[in-house]
Amino acid sequence: TWQINAKNKVNGFYEWQRNNQPNNFAYLNAGVSSMESGNPYCNHPQLFMSTWNNTASSKLLFEGGVLLYNSWASTYDNACAGIPTNRLYRDTTLLFPFNGNGPSVFRTGQRPFKQRFSMTYLTGAHRFKAGFAADESLPYQSFVDRGATPYTY
Under DSSP, the state recorded for 17 is -
pTM of the model: 0.60
Per-residue pLDDT at 96: 56
pLDDT digits (tens, 9 = 90+) for 55-77: 999 999 999 999 988 877 776 55
Do 13 and 47 contact (CB within 8 A), yes or no? yes
pLDDT digits (tens, 9 = 90+) for 97-127: 454 445 566 677 767 889 999 999 999 899 9
CA distances from 21 to 18, 24, 28, 43, 129 (A): 10, 4, 9, 8, 46
Per-residue pLDDT at 14: 94
